[in-house]
A and B are shown apart, each in its own frame.
Chain A
Amino acid sequence: MGRLSIRWLLGELPKLEAERVIDATVAERLRAHYAEKTSGSGRRLVVAIFAVFGALLIGGGVILLLAHNWEAFGRGTRATIALAPLLVSQVMVGWVLAKKCESTAWREGTATLLALTVAAAIALVDQTYHTGGDLESFLWRWSLLLAPLPWLLNSTAVAMLFLASLTWWAGAAKVEGSQILVMWPLAAAVVPHLVQVLRSGRRGLRAANLQWAIALFLCVAAGLGLDHRVPGLWIVVYVGLFALMITLGAASRRGEEGLWRRPLEVVGITGSIVMWLILSFDEPWRHIGWKHIHTTERFHEVTSWLDLALAIGLPLAAIVAMALLLERGQHNLYLLWGVSVPLVAVVWPLTVATDSRWIGAVSFTLLLLVVGIATIAEGVRRQNLGTVNLGMLVVAMLVMVRFFDSGFGFVLKGFAFILVGIGFLVANVVLSRSLRAAEEEAK
């Protein structure tokens, strides 16, 4: 049983006792049993975090020391220095695998150190022999060598380092005009580790951290991976991706508390707001679709097809996740955030057929307004201040971009801002009062 479930159970005990579902002895025995189980878990978490940060600092320090370039040492000495930290950390990881496999702190700490000493070793060899090409080539070799480690060592810290290095490589390679299709199969190396972590504790901190890394990686990778042969296809891909994150996050939720433990929803909603705001301008809708397909530049055939597969697959997957939510009859608010998918499915082809930019811009302006107001309403209904503020943030940002965008006069803009501001304050005061009243009533 996870820590959150135990905390819930212990919180329920007084009520169960009062309602005579269990007697005082059973309640006491349950308290003693679970107190024992949770007593060390907080400490273990702190130790694991310190182990990872310690390893990060030591490994980073080794890289910086080597980057100084100790030219006074001969090539032989430097080659030995390059391989020695790698060998030491390999032996440490081997020992942990054999003897201390159950300890998260040992596993994560030594795995992180190994990941960094791999980087230090290839960096020093490159430096000593002036080989290895540019940063792109270095990051590529590092990513390849890291790929099996997250699963093999069951290390989330290394999985995060791996995704960061792979994203960095993809960015650097894209700037150089190289093909980065291979990023996708390589990134799939974290999937077995994700399964591993979700199985061992889906509500734990490791699962949350890994999902943050994956969600952020997908946001960047989707953009980098696109070939842009068909102009505007990115609109469908990103709308689908963020809707999928929100609905998938909501569908797989098992009572996780706090925003940090719900990365898919947080990244999905933030991404959606930014994307919809961009799409509420008419510029992104200019010259999109098959009629404006690029024919003169050189494109990669497979990547172009992948663009299309993502543009169809992501929205479809989001719709499946929405259907799942509907079937369970829950999470109405999340379904609302997924409305962008059917909307883009209608607006995109319509814009392509008519070549008129305003259809998309007006549709997404209305979507922001409707979702913002509906989110406020849902927050008020559930008496949740956070949800109300999210809805108001959406409306406020829409007002801000619209008024900076259009040719309205300063006086009108001024009044609009003051009105929205007053709206924020009034709504918060009213809601806070009603929440306080509800609390007092409950007492």
Chain B
Amino acid sequence: MNRSLRLALFVVVALVQLAVAGGAIVKSELALRTGEAFRFRIQPVDPVDAFRGRYVAIRFAVDRAPAADDLDVKPGKHVYLPIEIDTDGYAVLGWARAEKPTSGPYLRLRAGGVYPDEEGNRFVWVSMPFRRYYMAEDLAPEAGRAVWSGRRGQREASVGVRVRGGVGVLEELYIDDVPIHQWLAENADAR
């Protein structure tokens, strides 16, 4: 293969590399700047990723949604989940559907299969796209510990998520309604 053809092909590959990284930036920025804000209850722990550093792993208190009898979705396929607000002001997932809702905020998530629950009602497991809250390596374990103690009933942990066009982007991690960095600064002794 001659040199200029190889160079031209490389330019295409380089643009794809930039587009993948840049596209994720644009998509996330759009959701963060113009998306609607919601708060989800969570249950976190704190692990580490060799490439992306330390993070607080997030387990959503709700990771399944009710499914109508006629909803047929294979594992790995996308479903649309309207976002509703419960009596405490936290976001919960509404009835799953195969088509995009015409109005109201929603998330487009991958389904993990449809199953009946203990009472025989159908529900769909969903894979939440925001499962990690990345933090500085010294703060993440402390944040993890802080939120863990929340699981024992002393503290309430939640995340702020901005949603736009089915895309949700994690904005902030809260402990007792206080942003995590502020909470860690204020509770240096409690840590």
Contacts and interface: CB of A to CB of B under 8 A. Distances in A.
Given A63-B51, A69-B137, A125 B10 contact: no
A326 to B, nearest CB: 38
Contacts of A126: 24, 52, 134
Interface stretch (B13-21, B88-96, B150-158): B13-21
Contact of B134 (A69, A83, A118): A69
Interface in A121-136: 121-135
Contacts, number: 127
Contact of A130 (B17, B18, B169): B169
A71 B135 contact: yes
A82 B20 CA distance: 12
A5 B10 CA distance: 35
Interface stretch (B35-43, B60-68, B116-124, B125-133): B125-133
B25 interface: yes
Interface string A225-265: 00000000000000000000000000000000000000000
Interface string A71-85: 100010001001100
Given A129-B169, A129-B170, A131-B130, A123 B14 contact: no
A97 B136 CA distance: 38
Given A152-B9, A153-B10, A121 B21 contact: yes
Contacts of A94: 7, 10-11, 14
Nearest to A93: B10
B109 to A, nearest CB: 11
- Please classify how large the interface on chain B is, using the bins under 10, 10 to 19, 20 to 34, 35 or more: 35 or more
B51 A90 contact: no
Interface string B24-57: 1100110010000000000000000111111100
Contact of A101 (B3, B134, B181): B3
A168 to B, nearest CB: 10
A98 B13 contact: no
A253 B80 CA distance: 57
Given A69-B134, A122-B20, A152-B9, A98 B3 contact: yes
25 contacts: A66-B53, A67-B49, A67-B52, A67-B54, A68-B136, A69-B137, A69-B140, A70-B136, A71-B181, A79-B29, A83-B18, A83-B22, A90-B18, A97-B10, A122-B20, A124-B52, A127-B55, A130-B132, A131-B28, A132-B132, A133-B129, A135-B50, A141-B20, A145-B16, A148-B13
Interface of B: 3, 6-7, 9-11, 13-14, 16-18, 20-22, 24-25, 28-29, 32, 49-55, 76, 129-137, 139-140, 169-170, 181
Interface of A: 63, 66-71, 75, 79, 82-83, 86-87, 90, 93-94, 97-98, 101, 118-135, 138, 141, 145, 148-149, 152-153, 179
Q: Which 7 A-B pairs have the closest CB atoms?
A: A67-B53, A129-B28, A130-B170, A127-B134, A121-B21, A90-B14, A123-B51
